[in-house]
Structures are given as structure tokens and as C-alpha cells.
Amino acid sequence: MPSLPSRLLGALAFLLFIARPAPAIAQQAPALRLYTLDCGHAEFQDFAAASDTGAYDGRKAVLADPCFLIHHPKGWLLWDAGLPPQLPAALAGLPGFRVWHERSLAEQLAAIGLRPEQVGYLAFSHLHFDHVGNAALFDRATWILQRAEVDWAERSPAPVSMLPELFAGYRKATVRWIDGDADVFGDGSVRILKAPGHTPGSSVLLLRLPQQGAVLLSGDLYLTLEGRLEHHVPAVNADRAATLASMQRIEQIAQRLHARLIIQHAPEDFERLPRPPAYWE
């Protein structure tokens, strides 16, 4: 019969074993690639809307608006669909606001040897018009949607910066509804992390790339490099306290995983990323 101390040790080991939560994020990375596509740029003569503290009042700004294409052994995922090729009249006429595209999204997919219908999954950091502009190209994909985001985006009257016609394609597509975090391919390598505040269903994408390591695509959690340092909350924002809490969560994850955080609208981050056919892996 085992001695009392060894039985205690055994019980303790058992407790530790059963009490240990399943690893939230897998350690081993499958073959993954991250492509960065240019889905437009925007210029503001006055970027006041980027902070509710007045930090950007009177300051000019140029924003990148990338789409990200992820190749996983189980399929292709597009994260965010950029600015619409044609701005709706209401936005095109706004003074001090200009949008341009250098290349179409379809053209950039072709450079990778891909047609839109080969993209199997579509997910968004949130549904503002500058993140869903090309969504209609992907009506054959499975759309991964935060329920809270769609509920909010389809309210009447539409919240500022929401143009429901741009993401209406989900009605005819296959939809995977999510409420919070989601593991896209079931192996921890591509995870959607809920980061509400900017909008109720705002999310960040966490990738575990085999060479580059952990990468966070931060959606509109931050709009500028300075905004990350100063915790700027945009003037157009659904919930200030939730935004600050999301920043805290994502920063803790970034720190724990030594992740590279990409601020999607920051031209500085965009310029550092390779262009197709080059990619990160």
C-alpha cells in the first residue's frame, strides 16, 4: 500500500491535472501564411474623430485600409474587406475626406493565384464601412460573424459609419455565428478574440505563425501608433469603458505571447508588411 505522503502527492497530482484548464492557445503552429492586401487608403484633413479628448483636432491624417488573407491547411480566410471600390454618395461628398485605391482586391488575389470563390472563410474586425467594402465578392465563403455586431450594425437608424448594404451578402451565405472568442480552424492557430467597445462585436485576430510567431491584427482597437501609447478612444465609439477594457485584455495577451500587434489603419505598420506574392509565415 502506498505511504500517506505518496498518496497525498498522487491526489495532488491528480487535482493539478484535472484542475488545469485546457490550453486556450495551441503551442504548435501549423503551416500558416499571412498576406497583406492593399484595400484602399483614406485621407482626413482633420482627424478629430480619432480621439474624444481632442488629441487630433486640426491634424491631417492618412490611413491605410488593408485586408488580410490567411492561408491555413484547411482553407483561406479573409480578415476584413477594406474600403468599398466606389464610395456611396453620402461619404464621397464629405468635405476634407478622400479615399483612393491603387489596385483592386480581385487583382491582388490573382497575384497569389486565387479567385474570390476560393476564399472559404470571411471574418471582420467589425462592420464599419471601411472594413466590409469588398465583402460582396465573397458570397460563397462561410461568414464568421459576431452576433452582437450584426445586431448593432442593423439597428435603425444605422449607427454612424455602418452601411448595411455592404455586408448584406451574409443573408445568402453560410454563416457561423459567434458570441465572443472563436478558434477558426480548431487548432488554436487562428483565433478571433472579442474586443468590444469601438463597436459591440469588435474583434482582434490572433495568428500563431511558425516563423514570425504571434501576430495580432488589431482592427480598430487603435487607429494610430500614438493611440496605442496614449489609449486614445475614438469620438465615434460605442462604449468607452469597454474599449479601455479591451485594450487591457489585448495588451496582456500581446505581452504574454510576445506578439507583434499590427494597427491596421497605421500606414507605418502597413508599410512594414510584405506585399503579395510575398507573405509572412
Stretch that binds Zn ion, among 48-56, 109-117, 214-222, 253-261 (CB under 5 A): 214-222
105/153 with CB nearer Zn ion: 153
Cell of 81: 474587406
Alpha carbons 67 and 175: distance in angstroms, whole number: 20
Binding of Zn ion at residue 232 (CB under 5 A)? no
Distance (Å, whole) CA 189 – CA 208: 5
- Among 65, 80, 149, 220, the residue binding Zn ion under the rule CB under 5 A is 220
Find the part of the chain contacting Zn ion (CB under 5 A) among 75-83, 121-129, 147-155, 250-258: 121-129
CB of 272 to Zn ion, least distance (A): 22
Q: From 33, 101, 98, 96, select the one nearest 279 (Cα to Cα).
A: 33
**Binding residue count for Zn ion, defined by CB under 5 A:** 2
Instruction: Kindly state the smallest distance separating residue 21's Cβ from Zn ion, in Å.
Output: 33
Minimum gap (Å) between residue 192 Cβ and Zn ion: 16
Question: Shortest approach of Zn ion to residue 219 CB, angstroms?
Answer: 7
Beta bridge partners of 192: 182, 205
Residue nearest to Zn ion (CB): 128
Q: Which stretch binds Zn ion (CB under 5 A): 62-70, 122-130, 209-217, 245-253?
A: 122-130
Shortest distance (Å) from residue 220 CB to Zn ion: 4
Of 32 and 205, CB closest to Zn ion: 205
How buried is residue 219: exposed, middle or buried, by Cβ count under 10 Å (0-12/13-18/19+)?
A: buried
80 is an interface residue for Zn ion by CB under 5 A: no
Give min distance, CB of 202 to Zn ion, in A. Answer: 8
Whose Cβ is closer to Zn ion: residue 79's or residue 279's? 79
Give the residue with the Cβ less far from Zn ion, 189 or 264: 264
Choose the binding region for Zn ion from 107-115, 181-189, 216-224, 249-257 (rule: CB under 5 A): 216-224
The residue within the footprint of Zn ion, chosen from 128, 194, 232, 265 (CB under 5 A), is 128
CB 164, min distance to Zn ion, A: 15
Cell numbers representing residue 188 in the block? 488554436
Question: What is the torsion angle, in degrees rounded to the nearest 10, for the CA atoms of residue 43, residue 194, residue 68 and residue 254?
Answer: 90
The binding site for Zn ion (CB under 5 A) comprises 128, 220
